[in-house]
Structure formats: structure tokens, C-alpha cells
Amino acid sequence: MALDATARETNFKDSIKKYIVDNMWTIEKVPVSFDPALANPKIPNNYQLTTWINVRFGDLYRDDLSRANIEIRCCTRQDNEGYKLAQLTDKVLGYFTTTSGDGIKRITFYRSYPSPTPWQVIGGIVVQDVIESGVYKAEDETNYKVINIVLRFASKI
């Protein structure tokens, strides 16, 4: 028996990827990597990066009210005072904390399909918690902050 669309990991990940790419890359022009490497992120055209975000998917707990964790690493190079890192972190946090009306941040939850079939809206993903780390420095002089985001969404299990 197949899982309901609301309980499929692929739909959850595709919805989050779409939200991040549509906002951080398309609107803000910040390169986005879903590759876990920080030192050599997989960014198209392999140009010299000084600012980018790296997204990692964490634990997924499927239930009637599912919970998932994502980690966004805001990364900068050639940023001795950390000013570019602070600006980048503010941009990312704005997309996960800015709310409307009832004070709850929602991300559209889609049933994804291979092209050319259009994706279908199946619900919403709610941002439950956002936890921001201090500043870290990698061996290659990359400065980064980790933003852990806890998300919730209704599922039919």
C-alpha cells in the first residue's frame, strides 16, 4: 500500500527545496547548495563563492502531526568582521520567521510530480521553532552560522 501524499518524504523535501530556491536564489540571488560539503559546495558554474547557504535535511518523524528538522548553514568567505554573515543570516531568518495575520509562518506543502505535470497544493508546513547558533570558522576560513528549523505538518499515516 502506497503512502498518502502528505506522508511522503519526497513531497516534504521537494516543498522545502522549492521554497528555499524560489526565495533565496530566485529573489535574493544567494547561491543554494543541498550538498553536505562546506569546503567545496556544489554550486552551478563553480564560480568563486563568498556567500551561500547550505541546506541539510535532518530527522523526520512521521505521524498524524509529523515533525521534521532542517539545518541551514549560512556561509561567507572573505568576511573578516562577519558583516556579510550577519546580513545573510538576517535574510534567511526573514523567510522562516516573518508571519502574517495569526503569527504562524507557513510554507506551502506540495504533491510533487516529474515535469511537466504541475505540482498540487496538499497543505501547509508550519515553522515551529528556529534556533540560531553562534559563529563558527571552518578550516578553509569559511565563516558560518547554523540555523536549525523545526517544521510540522499534518500527515495521513
What pLDDT is stored for residue 101 in this prediction?
A: 78
| CATH among 3.90.700.10, 3.30.750.24, 3.30.2000.20, 3.90.550.10 for 5-28+49-154 | 3.30.2000.20
What per-residue confidence (pLDDT) applies to 98?
A: 79
pLDDT of residue 138: 87
- 3-state SS track over the chain: CCCCHHHCHHHHHHHHHHHHHHHHHHHCCCCEECCCCCCCCCCHHHCCCCEEEEEEEEEEECCCEEEEEEEEEEEECCCCCCHHHHHHHHHHHHHHHCCECCCECEEEEEECCCCCCCCEEEEEEEEEEEEEEEEEECCCCCEEEEEEEEEEEECCC
Which whole number is the average pLDDT over 106-125?
93
Identify the pLDDT of residue 92. 97
Give the pTM: 0.91
pLDDT digits (tens, 9 = 90+) for 60-83: 999 999 999 999 999 999 998 999
